[in-house]
Amino acid sequence: MDEVIISLEKGTTCSSWNYSGHRLATASLDGTLCIFHSTHPSSSSSFTCTTKFKVHEGSIVKIVWLPPDYGDAVACICADGTLSLWEEVAEGIDNIQWKQCKVFDKTPGQVLDIQFGVSALNLKLVAAYSDGQVKVFELLDPLDLTKWQLQAEFRNVIDSVSKFGKASCVTASISWNPQRGNGQQSNFVLGFNSDIPQLNSCKVWEFDEDHQRWLPVAELATPEDKVNQVYAVAWAPNIGRPYELISVATSDGISIWHVGSNPEIDGRLWVEKVALLSGHCGEVWQMEWDMSGMTLASSADDGVRLWQSNLKGVWHEQATLEPTT
Amino acid sequence: MDLVINFTFFLKQDYDCLFSGTYPTLHSKLVDFQEELITLQVIEDDSKYWDALSSALAVGWLDVVVKLLRLHGSYRPDQIGIRETENGLVEAVALLITNMPRMRLELSDGKLGECYKTKPDFMKAWEKWRGQLTKLDCTPYWLQCDHQQTREGLKNMLQIMLGNASKLSDATCHWTELFISHLLYIRPFTSGLESMFGLAQKCVQIKPVTSHHKLMNLLTGILGENTEVVLAECSRSFGPWMIAHAMELLTAGSSHAEIVLHQEDSKLGGICMEELHRLAYAQVLSSHELTWQIAPVYLVTCPKQGMGMLENIFYRQPVQHKKVLLKSLEICRLYELDIIGSNLMKFAGVHDWKHGKKGSAVYWLQQAHDDVRLNKIAKQLFNFVGKSVSDDSLKQWEGLIELLSSETRTAGGLEFLNRYRDFRRHLQQVYAGVADDAAKQAAEALISLMKNSSTPKQFWLPLLYDSLKLLNWREHPLFNVSQTNLLMNKLQELSLAKLLPDYIDADLPSEALSSVRLALATNLGRAILEE
């Protein structure tokens, strides 16, 4: 039972669903952003493009929706590495428009990936740059998306004194621990696709409230695959598991990691690689978990694959969705 | 035995449509014969008649068999005289079939057999019945029966009832039919699922099938009392509804299944199989706008991960639609998920705030007890009213101020806005040239504002500056000595506060402070003289 719910224009480069799956933002080569709405407000049956606006002169490479506690807003990363935020505002019921609310300052490095994390106190934005830098920004006023403050800046390395040359990163992938909840610590996982092995491997970063700094608390790589470039990472929702689940896609395949929920005596989290899934031909573009954290979807040139663990805890391919053309 | 009878009933009622012509079955054989029946002149001469009889008998369709037997030619009035022995034998077999012992409380109308309520009674009756079968099988009357087909057909039927395995195999088509014939005639005392799996395997060997029907796979699992196989078959062939509901059936009366299904397993993320399948079904329900509200019913029975899943379902609801929000809040209240409810109201409040529905936004943020955002809104209002003291655009904010101060526990300082509005009204009347009373009320409102600790410091000077006309009231001083002292003290405090880092300077003319000072000093002088 196939049904087309949206037809995307030629030149569409990326897309992103909002939190409820009732709106889709798509972006194109010419820097235009489209917002699709489901025609019936409470269903997700068919979609029409209700708003279209120019974000940038060049191509847009990634769109990320902000969490719903901060309104209907998206962040756009453009091919030249600029990062801007746009939000939907309305004076009256009919006067809905999208306004640019922030353009982040240009830096020597281009923005490769960003992700938003909701902590108990505020909204955080992690951005990974092509020179290997990682920046964390904080929103100062929850009702005003124009005011951001740089909270931290670091590199994706375990040992902060390690020395290496100038990094050149092609892509980066960030995923926040998706769990909402009071008292939840801020943590995210990050990996690079670069020419510096130390930067590449996925690290779990956690904010140390006592010393007000970000610390790497786990590294998701075995000694053999430490050098591998990371294409995508995804932190699974945890609805009650005693451990966290994180998937990491590299040239070897997709590895599934169990990560301890609480730090051990040395402050680190225990990690265990439980599966290495192969099946995709070529680079994995993106990975996404379902809301229960039991099914992983991965996409590559050859289509989308769904992965699950069976009753014996063995991960396997559950389904394949192949591109039609 | 109940099982056997239900099974027999199932075979007769439902299973033919399940197989829908894929396999040759006993049922289809009988249906075919039924069509030929009207064209047959001498029914007992046709081998298909005897085939149909033995087949129906093998699976226990006794009423069909007896009805068919009574169509035998020897019953015809013109034949009964010359075929007396033959008819006697037919009737004897029909009678034995009618009296077949069955272990059950009662039979529905039209069903044949003698009911026995207890196993010993049934066993006794069974032995007696078998004795009668053997006796009939050995009777010399067979020699007097000239009609060969009848003789052989009836003898075959007796063999079936006596449990002759090869005859049962000949009479049946599908392995399930053979299986039931064994239960009926070879293992009539079987109780529960005792050795049924072995029997099923044997029957499949004798009557192999090329393709496995999904229901047959499930049946094999059930007969083998193999909970894992049953679950795997359920999930593969029948989807998540079946598997979520099959749990209760599987655990009923089986302690093994109880253990398998309720054992928490680290491989499943620390939950048991029952919970896993309920979560899976709830997730299916949650994917549609018409069914997501049913998901909580299943999730509350999941002790470990149900609430976590429910939380994630709620956070995916489009709460900017009020109907969805209200429904979600109702469910949150029902399951005491206060924090989630608050977050949903926060989402709705922020959405409304950004979309120009400011009153509704404040209402939802108040309900969500989101003091951080309410304070920000209050601050925006302060800044707004602070800047526009002398124009009347305050009106557009009035409703909001009303709403913000309607709840006592809202963000600090909102109470001030209410007092401030009153002050503004009186002052406007004064400027409009209305009577002396308005000036007095405005003066009282000013004192009340300045006395109140919730009035932000940034407003003190603008308030006093706006009140210059009151301070310089021609007719008589509106403020007495102590009131003037209070105002002067506030001005002093303000000068000190200016040194603090977070002080926000009011957008006033540079001479404002000196004008106020002068007015206060003049008023003090006049007040002293008056007193």
Q: Taking chain A (325 residues) in consecutive chunks of 10 residues, what is each chunk's mean pLDDT?
A: 81 94 94 88 73 93 96 95 94 83 91 91 93 95 94 90 85 92 77 93 92 93 89 96 95 95 88 94 94 95 94 92 80
In terms of pLDDT, which residue wins out, B428 or B391?
B428
> Are residues A77 and A156 part of one domain?
no
Cβ-based contacts of A291 with chain B (< 8 Å): 283, 286, 309, 312-313, 316
Report the gap between the CA of B450 and the closest CA in chain A (Å).
29
- pLDDT of residue B2 exceeding 60, the answer is no
pLDDT classification of B420: cutoffs 50, 70, 90: confident
CATH code, domain with A86: 2.40.128
Task: Among A95, A142, A313, select the one facing B372 at the smallest CB separation.
Answer: A142
Looking at A80-84, B376-380, B474-478, which range is the least confident one?
B376-380
> Are residues A198 and A49 part of one domain?
no
Mean pLDDT, range B35-47, rounded to an integer: 86
Which among A72, A106, A140 is the end of a domain?
A: A106
Interface test with A, best of B260, B264, B316 (most A CBs within 10 A): B316
- pLDDT of residue B476 exceeding 60, the answer is yes
pLDDT classification of B18: cutoffs 50, 70, 90: low
Q: Give DSSP secondary structure letters for A244-273.
A: EEEEEEETTEEEEEEEESS--TTSPPPEEE
Number of H helices, E strands in chain B: 30, 2
- pLDDT of residue B424 exceeding 60, the answer is yes
User: Which pLDDT score, from 0 to 100, does residue A66 have?
Assistant: 97
User: Which pLDDT score, from 0 to 100, does residue A33 have?
Assistant: 96
**pLDDT tens, residue by residue, B209-250:** 776 677 777 777 777 777 777 877 887 778 888 888 887 777
- pLDDT of residue B15 exceeding 80, the answer is no
Cβ-based contacts of B321 with chain A (< 8 Å): 41-42
- pLDDT of residue B106 exceeding 70, the answer is yes
CATH code, domain with A299: 2.130.10.10
pLDDT classification of B21: cutoffs 50, 70, 90: low
- pLDDT of residue B112 exceeding 70, the answer is yes
Which among A85, A106, A127 is the end of a domain?
A: A106
Global pTM value: 0.75
Q: Give DSSP secondary structure letters for B487-503.
A: HHHHHHHHHHHTTSTT-
Q: Would you call A90 and B356 a contact, using CB atoms and an 8 Å cutoff? A: yes
Q: In 3D, which of A282, A288, A286, A221 has the Cα closest to residue A253? A: A282
The percent of residues above 90 in pLDDT, for chain B, comes to 35
- pLDDT of residue B292 exceeding 80, the answer is yes
The token duo for B118 is 């207890």
> Are residues A57 and A42 part of one domain?
yes
Q: In 3D, which of A20, A24, A68 has the Cα closest to residue A42? A: A20
User: Which pLDDT score, from 0 to 100, does residue B7 have?
Assistant: 56
Q: Would you call A69 and B311 a contact, using CB atoms and an 8 Å cutoff? A: no
ipTM exceeding 0.85, yes/no: yes
Report the gap between the CA of B380 and the closest CA in chain A (Å).
10
pLDDT classification of B409: cutoffs 50, 70, 90: very low
User: Which pLDDT score, from 0 to 100, does residue B1 have?
Assistant: 43
Q: In 3D, which of B237, B173, B252 has the Cα closest to residue B209? A: B173
User: Which pLDDT score, from 0 to 100, does residue B500 have?
Assistant: 61
> Are residues A85 and A4 part of one domain?
yes
> Are residues A267 and A179 part of one domain?
yes
> Are residues A122 and A44 part of one domain?
no
The percent of residues above 70 in pLDDT, for chain B, comes to 86
In terms of pLDDT, which residue wins out, B406 or B258?
B258
Please report the beta strands in B327-379, taking only residues with DSSP state E, as ranges in sequence order. Answer: none
> Which residues of chain B are at the A interface, by a Cβ-Cβ cutoff of 8 Å?
228, 265-271, 273, 279-280, 283, 286, 289, 304-305, 307-309, 311-313, 315-319, 321, 323-324, 339, 343, 346-347, 350-351, 353-356, 372-373, 376-377, 380
The total of structural domains in chain A comes to 2
Please state, rounded to an integer, the average pLDDT across all residues of chain B.
83
Maximum average pLDDT range among B211-220, B288-297, B394-403: B288-297
In terms of pLDDT, which residue wins out, A92 or B80?
B80
Mean pLDDT, range B466-478, rounded to an integer: 86
Q: Would you call A238 and B308 a contact, using CB atoms and an 8 Å cutoff? A: yes
User: Which pLDDT score, from 0 to 100, does residue A4 have?
Assistant: 81
> Are residues A141 and A58 part of one domain?
no
User: Which pLDDT score, from 0 to 100, does residue A173 have?
Assistant: 97
> Are residues A151 and A298 part of one domain?
yes
pLDDT classification of B408: cutoffs 50, 70, 90: very low
Report the gap between the CA of B501 and the closest CA in chain A (Å).
18
> Which residues of chain A are at the B interface, by a Cβ-Cβ cutoff of 8 Å?
19-22, 41-44, 68-72, 87-93, 95-96, 141-144, 180-182, 237-242, 290-292, 294, 309, 311-313
- pLDDT of residue B35 exceeding 90, the answer is no
Spacing of C-alpha A8 from chain mean position: 22
Phi, psi of A313, deg, nearest 5: 85, 15
> Are residues A136 and A98 part of one domain?
no
Structural domain boundaries, residue A165: 112-325
User: Which pLDDT score, from 0 to 100, does residue B235 have?
Assistant: 77
Q: Would you call A291 and B283 a contact, using CB atoms and an 8 Å cutoff? A: yes
Cβ-based contacts of A90 with chain B (< 8 Å): 354-356
> Are residues A279 and A176 part of one domain?
yes
Distance between CA B285 and CA B196 in Å, rounded?
A: 37
> Are residues A101 and A124 part of one domain?
no
All residues at 6 or more sequence positions from B305 whose CB lies less than 8 Å from its CB, including other chains: A239, A240, A241, A292, B269, B271, B275, B279
User: Which pLDDT score, from 0 to 100, does residue B502 have?
Assistant: 54
User: Which pLDDT score, from 0 to 100, does residue B415 have?
Assistant: 66
User: Which pLDDT score, from 0 to 100, does residue B204 have?
Assistant: 86
Q: Would you call B286 and A242 a contact, using CB atoms and an 8 Å cutoff? A: no
Interface test with A, best of B229, B315, B343, B383 (most A CBs within 10 A): B315
User: Which pLDDT score, from 0 to 100, does residue A41 have?
Assistant: 57
Cβ-based contacts of A95 with chain B (< 8 Å): 356
Read off the DSSP letter of residue A110. Answer: P
User: Which pLDDT score, from 0 to 100, does residue A211 have?
Assistant: 86
**pLDDT tens, residue by residue, B304-341:** 999 999 999 999 999 989 999 999 999 999 998 999 99
Which among A106, A126, A153 is the end of a domain?
A: A106
Q: Would you call B315 and A95 a contact, using CB atoms and an 8 Å cutoff? A: no
> Are residues A130 and A240 part of one domain?
yes
Q: How far apart are the first and last CA of chain B?
A: 111
Report the gap between the CA of A243 and the closest CA in chain B (Å).
8
Distance between CA A84 and CA A103 in Å, rounded?
A: 4
Report the gap between the CA of A172 and the closest CA in chain B (Å).
27
Number of cross-chain residue pairs from A and B with Cβ atoms under 8 Å apart? 114
